[in-house]
Chain A
Amino acid sequence: MAAAINCLFIINKSGGLIFYKDCGSAGRMDTNDSLRLASLWHSMHAISQQLSPVNGCSGIQLLQADTFDLHCFQSLTGTKFFVVSEPGAQHMEPLLKVIYELYTDYVLKNPFYEMEMPIRCELFDINLSQAIQRDRVALLGR
């Protein structure tokens, strides 16, 4: 049974990767690739805002490919959270909101975290794993 989400990225407002987590069994990515993908997504996201025919577009929220879906959530401060999931995976927006909430709780309220720097917070890791695990269990139930 493969997990609904394969990996999670968090990028800061200038496009630097500050958090990366592999959750699925599908091919692992090395650090360089994940960094490259993060900044690539950051640029694509910015370009999409400019190219959009809709006024006040906030950028790509969902990218659908043959082999994966990419769901993106941008917070008000410009930090972007995105997950790569199986094609057609449902309920990714609520999961991203949950991850955002965990970020505000366990990262931003941590006095030892420096803004815009890579996230190394034990409590964030623990709670994130639990949230993903819960999501997985909920998926089995659906």
Chain B
Amino acid sequence: MIGAGRTKQYANVLDKPLSKGRQEVSLSAFSFLFSEIVQYNQTQVDNIAELERRLEDAGYAVGARVLELLCHREKGNRRETRLLGILSFVHSTVWKVLFGKVADSLEKGTEHEDEYMISENELLVNRFISVPKDMGAFNCGAFVAGIVKGVLDGAGFPAVVTAHFVPMEQQQRPRTTILIKFAEEVLRREAKLG
């Protein structure tokens, strides 16, 4: 058929569907923006715990929105209701959309039943960041921890989420572990669901 395969012509520009556009942003642009976020927050606080909390808050807002968006876009408006479901949603779907890859690992804590860990050898936000020695164990991954907390809270799995550096034997650089500690009610509900 003549003209088959040609894109449909729209008389009115407003009838045209929105293009999906590029799904990626420049890593440099993001890194500079993130660097400024950290620098700005640093001027607003007088201790490191406070800085960590502010970064987490910034991430929380991202997480809440990402959950909404991805449930709609990827899961046909269905929300995960089970613990492992939501964890793998964070580990794969959320990570892929935000960082372009699945997280390096998702493990269950060995000491506590309510702890789960998502680990990343080279967390995207930490790619260019060297934390000075005098800041101790501070990790800018607090922002990502905030995102995870935002997603989990929004989905009805309240948890305390923190980011830590974990030294690795074979590597020069420590990796970042996002530690998720679920609230008691979540585990009780999960047990009831069987």
Chains A and B bind each other: yes
Bound: A126/B172 CA distance, A: 9
Chain B 156-172 interface residues, beta-carbon cutoff 8 Å to A: 172
Given A106-B128, A121-B130, A124-B130, are A111 and B172 neighbors across the interface (CB < 8 Å)? no
Interface of B is mostly: helix
Asked if A66 is at the interface of the complex by the 8 Å CB criterion, the answer is no
Nearest CB of chain B from residue A100's CB, rounded to whole Å: 14
Q: Kindly state the interface size class of chain B when it binds its partner.
A: 10 to 19
A50 to chain B, nearest CB (A): 34
Q: Are the CB atoms of A109 and B32 closer together than 8 Å?
A: yes
Contact call B131/A112, Cβ cutoff below 8 A: yes
- The answer to whether B172 touches A110 (Cβ under 8 A) is no
- With both beta carbons as reference points, the residue of chain B lying nearest to A130 in the complex is identified as B172
B124-142, CB < 8 A from A: 128-132, 135, 140
Is A120 an interface residue when CB atoms closer than 8 A count as contact? Answer: yes
Q: Is the CB of A111 within 8 A of B132?
A: no
Partner of B135, one of A112, A120, A126: A112
| A111 touching B28 in the complex, CB below 8 Å, given contacts A106-B130, A123-B129 | no
Q: B129–A112 contact, CB under 8 A?
A: yes
- Our pick among B32, B35, B39, B130 for the contact of A122 (Cβ within 8 Å) is B130
* Residue in contact with A110 in the complex, picked from B130, B135, B173, CB distance below 8 Å: B130
Within 8 A of B (CB), among A89-103: none
The yes or no answer to B36 lying at the interface (CB within 8 A) is yes
Residue B42, interface by CB 8 Å? yes
B88: interface (CB < 8 Å): no
Q: Is B31 an interface residue (CB 8 A)?
A: yes
Q: Mark B14-42, 1 if CB is under 8 A from A, else 0.
A: 00000000000000100110111111001
* Interface residue ranges, A against B (CB under 8 Å): 105-106, 108-112, 120-124, 126
5 sample A-B contacts, Cβ–Cβ < 8 Å, listed by A number: A109-B35, A111-B38, A111-B42, A123-B129, A123-B130
Q: Which residues of B contact A (CB under 8 A)?
A: 28, 31-32, 34-39, 42, 128-132, 135, 140, 172-173
